[in-house]
Amino acid sequence: MAAKTATKTKKWRSRAVTRTVDAGNSAYCAVCEELIKFRARIRADQIICNVYVSNKWDRVEHYHPECYKKAKSPYGAPAD
């Protein structure tokens, strides 16, 4: 697996992205623990974070954008 050793160790960082909420979304917010609901009339966004623990992918967390902000963006500013 370690075919190429980089001079700098590349670490897997937890990352946050903004995604629109799809119809039939069934993810719960990691902060308020409420369902992140799809709303037909307004374009609802959610924050999806790939969380790495000890350089390994651990889990995906979902957040309402407001909740993510309230939690002080634990995984950095979300990318689009």
- The C-alpha angle with vertex 50 and arms to 77 and 32, in degrees rounded to 5, equals 75
Between 5 and 64, whose beta carbon lies closer to Zn ion?
Answer: 64
21 is a site residue for Zn ion (CB under 5 A)? no
Candidates 6-14, 16-24, 42-50, 59-67 — which segment interacts with Zn ion by CB under 5 A?
Answer: 59-67
Candidates 3-11, 16-24, 43-51, 57-65 — which segment interacts with Zn ion by CB under 5 A?
Answer: 57-65
Nearest to 62 by CA among 49, 73, 43: 49
Between 16 and 29, whose beta carbon lies closer to Zn ion?
Answer: 29
Residue 48 in contact with residue 19, Cβ under 8 Å? yes
Q: How far apart are the first and last CA of the chain?
A: 31
Contacts with Zn ion, residue ranges (CB under 5 A): 29, 31-32, 64, 67
